Structure 1
Amino acid sequence: MPLHEYIHHPIALDIVHNGATFQIAGLTNNSYLAEAHEVRHCVLMYHTLGEYVLEVAKKRLADMLYVGLTEKHRESATMFANIVGAQVISQHTISSSSAELATNDHPEQSSITNTISNANDQGNSTYQTLEDVSSTGKDEVARDNLTVGKLMEAYESCISSLRNSQSERRVNSLKRISPVNFTKEARRQVPDVVIQEIASLNSLDVELYNYAQHIFTEQQGHMTQRMVYAENLATALSSSAYPNFYVFPSWKVLSLSITGNVENSKAT
């Protein structure tokens, strides 16, 4: 089937075009909502209704803890490690430190421990995995191994093999539909009018993608600010009366700060 015919095929119109927008909005063909198909059908008939679906998708995207971009895979992985990974690591460390304090012969300390462990309420599902690790008696091992640097090392070790396997799957898949040519040169031969029509049919996805790029840029800015702050803090600590602190990652400094506050509370 020629490309200009395929883009107007009923299946393409129903589940391919603007697929990302409908997916994030929860209106796919596999949605648990019985009305999902009707909503998609209405959007196809009355294009202005698509703006409402787009706003729902944007709201859900903005509420996500982290947004990455496929074409910026490594930058996205770095951001994930610094935003999500660092948060989970700090939660795990704070909780572990609090648990150690709770084992002392001071029952009144339990209220302080609960306050600390409840102070962070994001990333609970991932944090539960870390709780399972500590419950097996491997708390110290988990705490030592979980760092942002370790996460990035794991990413670097697997990304090359992952790309190779994806490339092999792509080649094998295209063999099944030979003699269709999907080379870059063949793509350049697609008429501009067809490309413009595809962009028009996927206008919701195009706008959602632009919005995701905006979120990604904001996340990068916030991450850079936090990293600069952490470096400045490490520099200040290295030149202070506590020179050994600067060798600790920022999440350990956070843990030590909170632990110190708890100890001061005990002393008073």
Structure 2
Amino acid sequence: MAKPIALTRHQGLDALELRAPDGAAATLLLHGAHLVSWKPAGAGEQLYLSPKSAYATGQAIRGGVPVIFPQFAGRGSGTRHGFARTKPWQLVSAEIGKDDAMAVLRLQDDEATRLVWPHRFEAELCVRVAGRSLEIELACENRGEAELDFTAALHTYLGLGRLLDASVRGLSGLHYWDALTGTEERQRVDLLLPEPPLDRIYYGVAQDLTLQEQPAGRPSRRVWVRQQGFADAVVWNPGPEACAQLADMPADGWQQMLCVEAAAIERPVRLAPGETWAGMQTLVLE
């Protein structure tokens, strides 16, 4: 029988500590439905979380997995990266099952959201942790009487020992938008060696991606990144100059992270009244 998970506190905010029977664990905040920790069974922390991040009402958290909804970056007239990551979400369910631990949070429109995005909606985030895998699913239902569209992403900060030891495989042949140069390019090699700064939106991602870390003198690491429902993927690292300008990140923090994000950007999701969409990102530590 499933065992309910009680709310606790993390950095002064309501949180859920998900711990599967095999020891796999994750920490999910109600603030922004923000995942701030993922530790697979028998392994250490896999996400990057800035030690300078603020934990306060109305403020975004730097690191973990921010929920970008209903607008990616400045691609629209609303709040940059949307309002979902700074709003309080409601707890729907949280329980430990036979093989996993899972939680579902919900966000609905209110007067404040309708001022910047005039739609009635219900969004849910489901997080499931078990063994060496983490599943994050974002869903949205149009509860209004008019069509709506949105862009979204799971802005996953993967932790690294050192960026220069990392690579991403699986992007060969894809077209991407380079936000730094304002040009569309084509990925001509399978292995992306991150050279910061890096800010790319890859279109039409149909296969799994792999983050590889091969430090000298230490064991290598691979994290498989799979996505369903999300057509695009973002690969981002601010680099030293931009990172130094971020008040909520250490000046050298760029060396310990790489964002690999499941996203729906090029073609916004369009929902008729009553329609529902869902997208999932799955991370698996090899």
Task: Tell me the TM-score normalised to structure 2 length.
Answer: 0.21
Structure that is richer in strand per residue: 2
Task: Tell me the TM-score normalised to structure 1 length.
Answer: 0.22
**Higher Cα radius of gyration:** 1
Q: Which has the higher contact order (CA 8 A, sep 6+)?
A: 1
Structure that is richer in helix per residue: 1
